[in-house]
Amino acid sequence: MTGTQKTGETPVLERTSTVRVPVGGRAWFVQRRTIGLVVGCVVAMLGLGFVGLSYGTSWATPGEVFGALTGLEPSVVIAEWRAPRVVAGILFGAALGVAGAIFQNLTRNPMGSPDIIGLDAGAYTGALLVMTVFAGASVTVAFGAVAGGLVTAALVYSLSRSNGLSGMRLVVIGIAVNAMVTALNNWLVLRAELEVAMAAVGWNSGSLNGIDWEDLVVPGVVIAVLLTVIGLRASALQQSALGDSIAVSTGVPLERQRLLMVLVGVGCTATVTAVAGPVMFVALAAPQIGRRLAQAPGVPLLPAALTGAVLLQFADLVAQMLLAPVSLPVGVVTTAIGGGYLIWLLAQEVRRR
């Protein structure tokens, strides 16, 4: 693009923040905001992570936490139970934020996020089928979720893809498919026995409870690869977000570009859903919140990822503390926090006018 890779470490960040604003004077301002956002989010993540490691039925002292992390004072609970949960919050939150930003860019509509266009509902169908029809082990529930999400995504994508892809059409078809899949889910839950129904509802609300390092290896690799891919293509993503005609005139191969982005978005959503269940609303809210924090036009990826990570991490802590010692599914809290914050932001904007 415009040769903005000044800091070798974070070329992606630089590009996403500056490319989208052609006016030089304003670009500088946005960039500073973005750096501030990065620093703020990293500090928040570290702080929340530390609290997450310390918090339990009884609080661990900072000494114990550092001891466990460095291996000087081994603690299974901190190093093997709490640490993966903290990492999962950051990783999954970032993945969901990016997935949401991708879809919102593609469809040019804040409602075009994966949870609205049926991916989460499709994953739930897969999981429900495994729980009720082929009652089996948890491995197959994860498999069912991924399969369900992918099938739904393929359905939505192929249905909306005649004579090129229109964002609006994808949202409308996504909502239609989502409603049908949700109806199917409701029917499956109604048919199921009460115990199975409760387990299914529990799964559907998304949870980071019981996540081990083992559970994180595959999703971690998948998400890292997907985020790298999308990071390298971020500039093209901005191009296509500007509109078909601009993208075509600047020579971005539209169709292939979009398919790639859809694959990354679906991949992120499906991976998170397979491990944690559908953690609703992070994908919808994080990009919108991040966009406002960064004061950027469009829906930039980096703020979405950072906001998503902090949001999910924070929500998971609240979920553990709210009704302690009984912990809530994090999905319950993400919807409440994410939605509440979004409403507050909207109200703020109203007041400013």
Residue numbers 274-313 binding other proteins by CB under 8 A: 280-281, 284-285, 288
Cα dihedral sign, 102-104-108-112: positive
Min dist CB 161 to other proteins, Å, is 10
Position among 1, 35, 44, 199 found at the interface with other proteins (CB under 8 A):
199
Subset of residues 136 to 175 that bind other proteins, contact rule: CB under 8 A: 136-138, 141, 159-160, 162, 166, 168-169, 171-173, 175
User: Rounded CA gap, 40 and 230, in Å?
Assistant: 23
Position among 147, 296, 305, 328 found at the interface with other proteins (CB under 8 A):
328
Identity of the residue, 2 or 138, whose beta carbon is nearer to other proteins in the bound complex = 138
Which of the stretches 27-35, 89-97, 146-154, 199-207 binds other proteins when contact is defined by CB under 8 A?
Answer: 199-207
Position among 195, 241, 244, 291 found at the interface with other proteins (CB under 8 A):
195
Give yes or no for residue 124 binding other proteins (CB under 8 A): no
Which of the stretches 8-16, 200-208, 253-261, 303-311 binds other proteins when contact is defined by CB under 8 A?
Answer: 200-208
14: closest CA among 23, 25, 24, 3? 3
Position among 50, 81, 143, 213 found at the interface with other proteins (CB under 8 A):
81
Min dist CB 227 to other proteins, Å, is 25
Identity of the residue, 51 or 176, whose beta carbon is nearer to other proteins in the bound complex = 176
User: Rounded CA gap, 96 and 204, in Å?
Assistant: 16
Q: Which two tokens stand for residue 315?
A: 């929500």
Subset of residues 41 to 80 that bind other proteins, contact rule: CB under 8 A: 56-58, 76-77
Which of the stretches 15-23, 132-140, 260-268, 299-307 binds other proteins when contact is defined by CB under 8 A?
Answer: 132-140
**If phi over 0 gives left and psi between -120 and 50 gives alpha, with beta otherwise, what is residue 350?**
alpha
Subset of residues 218 to 237 that bind other proteins, contact rule: CB under 8 A: none
Q: How many helices (H) and strands (E) does the chain have?
A: 16, 0
User: Rounded CA gap, 101 and 234, in Å?
Assistant: 11
Give yes or no for residue 177 binding other proteins (CB under 8 A): yes
Give yes or no for residue 190 binding other proteins (CB under 8 A): yes
313: closest CA among 12, 5, 50? 50
Min dist CB 81 to other proteins, Å, is 6
Identity of the residue, 293 or 333, whose beta carbon is nearer to other proteins in the bound complex = 333
278: closest CA among 226, 331, 327? 331
∠ CA(90), CA(34), CA(353), 5° rounding? Answer: 110
Per DSSP, 73 falls in state S
Give yes or no for residue 331 binding other proteins (CB under 8 A): yes
Number of C-beta neighbours around residue 28 at 10 A: 12
Site residue total, other proteins (CB under 8 A): 81
271: closest CA among 220, 210, 230? 220
